[in-house]
């Protein structure tokens, strides 16, 4: 029954997105995939290079919640704010204005990412979880491939 409903839903999406040429989609680029079949349902400038700032914050938040769910991370746990994270608030990026040397809870860092789209909070959370941004990206890739 679940598979049948999935097929009906995908068919509905396919019909709607096959009419997309008649629709006005304001996004510069978009790609919609069916996760299970890897079928491209709709695309517009899908190969265009773009900076995924919002997407990285979503992935950072998703990975943090993954660790919280698996009890590998606590909302009460506090992470030290590095100079790298702090500098984001002084470079014109969206920020929750955390200060270098502060110890900020995972809960507050998540709020800083979700509510104010804080780049500083994203870096502080990534560094706190993995030790560095680079190692955090590796963790995202590994978990995404599972």
62-82, pLDDT tens digit by residue?
Answer: 999 999 999 999 999 999 999
74 and 31 in one domain?
A: no
Average pLDDT rounded to a whole number, residues 125-139: 94
d(CA 85, CA 87): 6
Is residue 17 pLDDT above 60, yes or no?
no
Between 115 and 26, where is the model more confident? 115
59 and 24 in one domain?
A: no
116 and 93 in one domain?
A: yes
Q: What is the pLDDT of residue 18?
A: 53
Burial (0-12, 13-18, 19+ Cβ within 10 Å), 98: buried
60 and 22 in one domain?
A: no
End of a domain among 26, 44, 62? 44
Q: Domain containing 93: what range?
A: 53-145
88 and 37 in one domain?
A: no
Q: Distances from the Cα of 3 to the Cαs of 9, 40, 78, in angstroms?
A: 10, 19, 43
137 and 69 in one domain?
A: yes
116 and 61 in one domain?
A: yes
- Give the per-residue SS3 of the chain: CHHHHHHHHHHHHHHHHHCHHHCCCCCCCEEEECCCCCCEEEEECCCCCCCCHHHHHHHHHHHHHHHHHCCCCCCCCEEECCHHHHHHHHCCCCCCCCCCCCEEEHHHHHHHHHHHCCHHHHHHHHHHHHCCHHHHHHHHHHHHHC
* pLDDT 10s digits, 77-90: 999 999 999 998 77
């Amino acid at each position: 029954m679940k598979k049948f409903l999935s097929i009906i839903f995908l068919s509905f999406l396919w019909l709607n997105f096959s009419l997309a040429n008649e629709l006005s989609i304001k996004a510069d680029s978009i790609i919609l995939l069916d996760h299970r079949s890897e079928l491209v349902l709709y695309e517009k400038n899908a190969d265009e290079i773009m900076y995924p700032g919002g997407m990285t914050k979503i992935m950072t938040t998703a990975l943090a919640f993954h660790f919280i769910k698996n009890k590998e991370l606590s909302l009460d746990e506090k992470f030290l704010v590095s100079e790298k994270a702090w500098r984001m608030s002084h470079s014109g990026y969206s920020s929750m204005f955390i200060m270098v040397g502060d110890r900020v809870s995972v809960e507050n860092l998540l709020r800083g990412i979700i509510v104010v789209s804080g780049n500083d909070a994203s870096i502080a959370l990534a560094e706190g979880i993995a030790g560095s941004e680079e190692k955090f990206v590796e963790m995202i890739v590994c978990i995404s491939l599972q």
